[in-house]
Amino acid sequence: MAHQAHAYHMVDPSPWPLTGAIAALLMTSGLAVWFHFHSTTLMTLGLILLLLTMHQWWRDIIREGTFQGHHTPPVQKGLRYGMILFITSEVFFFLGFFWAFYHSSLAPTPELGGCWPPTGITPLDPFEVPLLNTAVLLASGVTVTWTHHSIMEGERKQAIQSLTLTILLGLYFTALQAMEYYEAPFTIADGVYGSTFFVATGFHGLHVIIGSTFLAVCLLRQIQYHFTSEHHFGFEAAAWYWHFVDVVWLFLYVSIYWWGS
Amino acid sequence: MFRHFLTLQQVSRRQISSTVRRQLVNKVPDKQKLFQEANGMPVHLKGGVSDAVLYRATMGLTVLGTAYVIYELVKAALPQKKG
């Protein structure tokens, strides 16, 4: 039987890049079809295909790493670079929305009343639910660090408990934010204030949901003994992503909620 | 998967004892044996029949979706005039 003379991972041929690309095509074309012809079939089909692709692709990565042993130290180093580069790209994504916010709020036009918040806008009190949300996410940053140390020290029960707590805090944030959205005295259609507020916080909320899902997958994997005290990169990637989500919130809170009121 | 959430409750509550009814047993060694078997199967099909079912469903949707999107785009590009 042939064995490779290097520590790198030569992946098996996989259909998921193709199905993922088609999913992207279906979602984008489906969006256009929805806008012009009021049918959501194509877009929905694209979303289903995306979910199927993500499930099977990441399932295969778990198989390759945890069950087949392909994630040697050099391979893991590559995965680390990959996650760091991805999070960096997300930082730039949010930078754009912060740029838009500061562009409009540092020099408010006469149409807005020459002031920020614009005339007629009642901003949310930054010391009410937004402050609670800040505490919730900061606490979740502590609990996820607790999880990491528990995993490294082989404390299985503590890792499960602290990771569960982290996810619950993430869900609590989402629920609080959803309630705030419902109760807010302004909407996305309320000029540039509404646009910058809901697009920036909305994309952040989406990232909280993505991060919570990633952590939930890690919880299931921890329960199923996938992680060892030396090798648990999937969890580390989820924890990095979670800290990134937390930091973005801190910038949102200080800029839009606090300074912007 | 629901079984795992129930086990989550149990595992996080009590310590290991002889009266434990449903402690989740470590199945990783079995999975390692399954996925390291030298049967030439690619990793996306190596888990068994359910892999093949899910793959076929996904690829089926991919092919249908591709055909449907081409149809919709051609239809959108060549509007039929009303009679």
What does the pLDDT look like over B40-49, one tens digit per residue?
A: 999 999 999 9
Query: Count of A–B CB contacts within 8 Å?
Result: 112
Of B7, B58, B72, the CB nearest to A52: B58
- Mean pLDDT for B57-65 is 98
Q: pLDDT per residue over A10-27, tens digit each? A: 999 999 999 999 999 999
Whether residues B43 and A53 touch (CB distance < 8 A) is answered with: no
Average pLDDT of chain A is 97
pTM for this predicted structure = 0.90
Same structural domain, A121 and A249: yes
CATH at A9: 1.10.287.70
Q: Is B34 within a domain?
A: yes
Q: pLDDT per residue over B3-39, tens digit each? A: 666 666 665 555 544 444 456 899 999 999 999 999 9
Residue in chain A lying closest to B31 (CA): A67
Of B43, B61, B69, the CB nearest to A12: B43
What are the tokens at A9? 């991972």
Helix residue ranges, H only, A38-72: 41-62
Q: Nearest to residue B51, comparing CAs of A217, A9, A59?
A: A59
Same structural domain, A162 and A244: yes
Distance from CA of B6 to the nearest CA of A (A): 11
Distance from CA of B37 to the nearest CA of A (A): 10
Tell me which residues of chain B have a C-beta less than 8 Å from any C-beta of chain A: 1, 4, 7-8, 11-12, 15, 24, 26-28, 31-32, 34-36, 38, 42-44, 46-47, 54-55, 57-59, 61-62, 64-66, 68-69, 72-73, 76
Same structural domain, A58 and A78: no
Distance from CA of B26 to the nearest CA of A (A): 6
B38 contacts in chain A (CB < 8 Å):
1
pLDDT band for A3, please (50, 70, 90 cuts).
Answer: confident
Same structural domain, A57 and A77: no
Same structural domain, A16 and A140: no
CATH at B40: 4.10.91.10
Same structural domain, A140 and A117: yes
- Using the structure block, give the residue that is written with the tokens 């082989």: A154
Asked if A261 and A117 count as a contact pair (C-beta separation under 8 A), the reply is yes
- Mean pLDDT for A30-58 is 97
Task: Count the domains in chain B.
Answer: 1
Distance from CA of B10 to the nearest CA of A (A): 10
Same structural domain, A118 and A218: yes
What per-residue string of b and e applies to A126-147 under the rule 16 or more CB within 10 Å gives b? Answer: beebbeebbebbebbbebbebb
Same structural domain, A58 and A81: no
Q: Is B83 within a domain?
A: no
Q: Is B8 within a domain?
A: yes
Query: Residue B79 has what pLDDT?
Result: 78
Query: Residue A74 has what pLDDT?
Result: 97
Same structural domain, A3 and A18: yes
Of A22, A32, A223, the CB nearest to B24: A223
Same structural domain, A3 and A90: no
Q: Is B59 within a domain?
A: yes
Q: pLDDT per residue over A204-228, tens digit each? A: 999 999 999 999 999 999 999 999 9
CATH at A246: 1.20.120.80
Task: Count the domains in chain A.
Answer: 2
Structural domain that includes position A31: 1-70
Which of A39, A63, A147, A164 is the best mutation test for B, with the most CBs of B within 10 A? A63
Whether residues B36 and A68 touch (CB distance < 8 A) is answered with: yes
pLDDT band for A248, please (50, 70, 90 cuts).
Answer: very high
Same structural domain, A135 and A203: yes
Whether residues B76 and A37 touch (CB distance < 8 A) is answered with: yes
Structural domain that includes position B13: 1-77
ipTM of predicted assembly, 2 dp:
0.87
CA distance B58 to B45: 13
Question: DSSP letter string over B17-72?
Answer: -TT-S-PPP--HHHHHHHHT--S---TTTTT-HHHHHHHHHHHHHHHHHHHHHHHH
Q: Is B82 within a domain?
A: no
Whether residues A56 and B54 touch (CB distance < 8 A) is answered with: yes
Same structural domain, A62 and A104: no
